[in-house]
Amino acid sequence: MNMQHEKAIFDFTQPISQHPFDDAKLLRGGISEQIAIRDLSLAGRRLVAEEPESAAWYCLKVEPRKEFAVENVLLVADVEALVQCEPAGIVVRRGRQWEKPRTPWMPGYVLVQCVYSAGAIMSLLRLRHVLGVVGGPARPHRVSGQSIRNFNEKVAQLLAQADAVKRASNDRDHAPFMVGETARVTLGPFANFECVILSIGKGKSPRCKALTKVFGNETPFDIPLASLAKL
């Protein structure tokens, strides 16, 4: 009796789909996190430096409240990583000042810059607390470098404002401004100009009237005390 077996025909031009939990199964099967971290060299800064035109930012989906843990592992492994955060600073609640901690701007996401390859993406997906990559591993979503720069510039501005509030608060507590005092403007169109304080208002967020010189001309303006720094 002759038995005939049908031969399977594969189209090698088509990608082979992978179950989304395959990597988790492999990890449970014995692939250690140390090996996953070692493989991160495939997504490392060295390749970005060698092929800058091929590098791009990608967005990893991570477990809640594990953003900084993942970011730290990536940075230690020499992978460019970024958790976009709201700036820390002083928050006033019920008349008391509280130090606001550094918190993710978009919880659950970590940005990574790397040269795309299957190995690079899979090394990232094998990391502990990483749930996936936005867009999927085959065609992950690219985050534009300009959007990263715009965000960083905005955060830098907010950080400067928060720092100015903190410095001004400390100044008011230990060495308050006085009428007639010369101070330095830290924010706004007159930033880095020196001014003379003409009068000081009252309240939780006091403002003052001040005078500065712009191209030799005396220019009066109204500004929060938090935007001034002592000389």
Flag whether 124 is in a domain.
yes
pLDDT digits (tens, 9 = 90+) for 178-192: 999 999 988 767 788
Residue 219's pLDDT band (cuts 50, 70, 90): confident
Examine the fold and report which residue of 103, 124, 143 is the final residue of a domain before the chain moves on.
143
Question: Is 67 within the bounds of a domain?
Answer: yes
**Is residue 39 a part of any domain in this protein?**
yes
55 shares a domain with 111: yes
**Residue 149, in any domain of the structure:** no
Kindly report, residue by residue over 69-79, the tens digit of the pLDDT: 999 999 999 99
Q: Same structural domain for residues 134 and 33?
A: yes
Query: What does the H/E/C string look like for 88-104?
Result: CEEEEECCEEEEECCEE
Q: Average pLDDT in the 159-184 region?
A: 69
Task: Mark whether 28 and 116 lie in a shared domain.
Answer: yes
pLDDT in the model for residue 29: 42
pLDDT of residue 173: 46
Indicate the average pLDDT of the chain: 77
Give a yes or no: residue 222 inside a domain: yes
* pLDDT for position 217: 77
Same domain flag for 33 and 104: yes
Clarify whether residues 109 and 214 are in a common domain: no
* Nearest one of 144, 138, 136 to 117, comparing CA atoms: 138
Report pLDDT digits (tens) over 17-28: 443 434 444 444
Which one of 127, 143, 159 terminates a domain? 143
Comparing 116 with 23, which gets the higher pLDDT?
116
Average pLDDT over residues 89-95: 61
What is residue 53's DSSP assignment?
Answer: G
Q: Domain of 188: which CATH number?
A: 2.30.30.30
* Other C-beta atoms lying within 10 Å of the C-beta of residue 185: 20
* Beta strands at 103-104 and 85-86: parallel, antiparallel or unpaired: antiparallel
Position 168 in a domain: no
DSSP summary character for residue 46: H
The confidence band for 90, taking pLDDT boundaries of 50, 70 and 90, is low
pTM of the model: 0.55
- Domain range for 208: 175-230
The CB-side HSE value for 93 (13 A sphere, CA atoms) comes to 6
| Residue 38 shares a structural domain with residue 83 | yes
Tell me whether residue 167 is in a domain: no
Does one domain contain both 44 and 110? Answer: yes
Give the residue from 81, 75, 83, 56 showing the smallest Cα distance to 141: 56
In a domain, 164, yes or no: no
Q: Give CA–CA dist 220/185, Å, rounded.
A: 13
Do both 196 and 106 map to the same domain?
Answer: no
DSSP, residue by residue, 186-224: -SSTTTT-EEEEEEE--SSS-EEEEEEEETTEEEEEEEE
List C-alpha distances in Å: 189 to 153, 185, 186, 211, 229.
17, 9, 9, 14, 15
Taking only the tens place, the pLDDT of each residue in 141-154 is 888 888 888 777 87
